[in-house]
A and B are shown apart, each in its own frame.
Chain A
Amino acid sequence: MLGQTVVDYKLVISPKPTEFSEKYDFFGNTLTRFSIQEQHKKLKVTALSKIFRDHTLVPDIYKSTNGQAINLMDALVALKSQTIENLDVKQFMLESILIANISAEIRAYAEISFKPNRPIFEAAYELMQRIFNDFEFNPHVTNVATPIHEVMIKKKGVCQDFAQIAIACARSVGLPARYVSGYIETLPPPGKEKLVGTDASHAWFSLYIPTFGWVDFDPTNNQIPKNQHIIVAYGRDYYDVPPLKGVIYSSGKNKMKVAVDIRPAV
Chain B
Amino acid sequence: MPFKSNTLFQNYFSAFKDYDEVLKPDMSINPKWEKVFNNFSKIGYNNLIAKQDEVNWLMEENGVTYNVYNDPNGMNRAWDLNIVPFVIHESEWETTIERGLKQRAELLNLILKDIYGKRELFKNGIVPQEVVFAHRGFLRQCDQIQYNTSKNLQIYSADLARGPDGRMWVVSDRSQAPSGMGYALENRYALNRVVPTIFENINVKHPLSFFNDLKQMLLDAVPQNKSNPNIVILTPGPHNETYFEHAYLGSFLGYPLVMGSDLVVRNGKLWLKTLKKLKQVDVVLRRVDDFFMDPLELREDSYLGVAGLLEVVREQQVAIVNPVGSGILENSGLIPFMNAICNYFFKEDLILPQIASWWCGQKKELDYVLNHLKDLVVKRIDRSNRENIFFCEFLDDAALAKLKKEITLAPYQFVAQEKISFSTAPNFVNGTLEPRKVLCRTFAIAKKDSYSIMPGGLVRVAAERENLFVSNQRGGISKDFWIVSDQLQNPLRNYSWDASSNNYVSDINDLSSNTAENLYWSGRYLSRALVTARYLRMVLNRMHQDQYSTRKSDSESLTILYKSITNITSTFPGFVGKGSEALLKNPLKEIISLITDEKRLGSLAQNMASFNNSYYSLRSLWSKDMWRVFDGIKKQWQKFNENDDFSINALSKFLDRIITRLIAFMALIEESILVNQGLLLYFIGLQTEQAMMHVEKCRAILVINYNEQVQYEILESLLNSSESLNIYRYSYRSYLSIENVTKLILLDKDYAKSLAYQVKRIEKDVSRLPYSEGANTITACKEKIMKAHTKMNSLHIETLLKLDEDALIRQNLDDTLAEISDLLHQTAMEISNTYFNHAYTQNQLTNQNFPQL
Contacts and interface: CB of A to CB of B under 8 A. Distances in A.
A239 B134 CA distance: 15
A87 B840 contact: no
A62 to B, nearest CB: 32
Interface string A24-36: 0111000001010
B143 A145 contact: no
Interface string B122-156: 11010001100110000011010000000000000
22 contacts: A18-B267, A19-B267, A25-B140, A26-B143, A33-B296, A43-B845, A87-B123, A90-B129, A90-B133, A91-B129, A91-B133, A94-B412, A98-B851, A100-B851, A244-B845, A245-B296, A245-B844, A245-B845, A246-B844, A247-B307, A247-B308, A254-B843
A26, A147, A251: most-surrounded residue (chain B CB, <10 A): A26
B848 A144 contact: yes
Nearest to A90: B129
Given A95-B134, A144-B846, A249-B842, 15 more contacts: A35-B266, A43-B845, A95-B413, A101-B409, A102-B410, A242-B848, A245-B845, A246-B845, A247-B308, A247-B843, A248-B843, A248-B844, A249-B843, A250-B840, A256-B846
B412 to A, nearest CB: 7
Interface in A215-257: 239-240, 242, 244-251, 254, 256
A254 B122 CA distance: 44
Given A33-B311, A90-B129, A247-B295, A147 B851 contact: yes
Contact of A87 (B129, B314, B413, B849): B129
Nearest to A18: B267
Contacts of B122: 87
A82 B846 CA distance: 40
B134 A247 contact: no
Interface residues of B, number: 40
A249 B134 contact: no
Interface residues of A, number: 40
Interface in B275-297: 295-296
A23 B310 CA distance: 13
B840 A247 contact: no
A21 interface: yes
Contact of A97 (B125, B143, B850): B850
A26 B129 contact: no
Contacts of A100: 851, 853
A245 B846 contact: yes
B17 to A, nearest CB: 40
A266 interface: no
B847 A95 contact: no
B632 interface: no
A59 B842 CA distance: 46
B838 to A, nearest CB: 10
A84 interface: yes
Contact of B266 (A37, A90, A247, A249): A37
Q: Which of B268, B843, B844: most chain A CB closer than 10 A?
A: B843
Interface string B244-269: 00000000000000000000011110
Interface in A24-55: 25-27, 33, 35, 37, 43
A245 B300 contact: yes
Contacts of A256: 845-846
Interface of B: 122-123, 125, 129-130, 133-134, 140-141, 143, 265-268, 295-296, 300, 307-308, 311, 314, 409-410, 412-413, 839-853
A35 B265 contact: yes
Nearest to B311: A33
Contacts of A245: 296, 300, 844-846, 848
A251 B840 contact: yes
A138 interface: no
A254 B847 CA distance: 10
A143 interface: yes
Identify the 8 closest CB pairs spanning chains A and B, nearest first: A26-B140, A246-B845, A249-B840, A247-B307, A94-B134, A91-B133, A26-B143, A247-B296
A99 B123 CA distance: 26
Contact of B853 (A27, A84, A97): A97
Contact of A244 (B308, B409, B839, B846): B846
Contacts, number: 104
Contact of B850 (A23, A82, A98, A250): A98
Contacts of B141: 25-26
Given A145-B850, A242-B846, A21 B311 contact: yes
Nearest to A240: B140
Contacts of A25: 140-141
Contacts of B841: 249-251
Contacts of A254: 843, 845
A240 B295 CA distance: 14
A61 B819 CA distance: 81
Nearest to A255: B846
B850 to A, nearest CB: 5
A242 B296 CA distance: 12
Nearest to B361: A94
Contacts of B300: 245, 247
A84 B125 CA distance: 11
A145 B267 contact: no
Contacts of B849: 145
A247 B845 contact: yes
B845 A144 contact: no
A18 B410 CA distance: 45
A94 B133 contact: yes
Contacts of B267: 18-19
Contacts of B140: 25-27, 240
A250 B307 CA distance: 14
Interface string A76-104: 00000010100100110011011011100
B782 to A, nearest CB: 23
A91 to B, nearest CB: 5
B130 A94 contact: yes
B218 to A, nearest CB: 27
Interface in A115-155: 143-145, 147
A242 B133 CA distance: 20
Contacts of A23: 314
Interface string A1-37: 0000000000000000011010101110000010101
Contact of A247 (B839, B844, B850, B853): B844
A23 B412 CA distance: 31
Nearest to B142: A26
Contacts of A27: 140
B653 to A, nearest CB: 46
A240 B300 CA distance: 13
Contacts of B412: 94
Contacts of A43: 845
Contacts of A98: 850-851
Nearest to B413: A95
Contacts of B409: 101-102
Nearest to B851: A147
Interface in A163-186: none
Contacts of B134: 94-95
Nearest to B412: A94
A248 B847 CA distance: 12
Contact of B839 (A84, A90, A102, A251): A251
Contacts of A87: 122-123, 129
A180 to B, nearest CB: 17
A21 B851 CA distance: 29
A239 B846 CA distance: 12
A6 B129 CA distance: 33
B840 A95 contact: no
A249 B143 CA distance: 28
Give the most central of B307, B314, B845: most A CB within 10 Å. B845
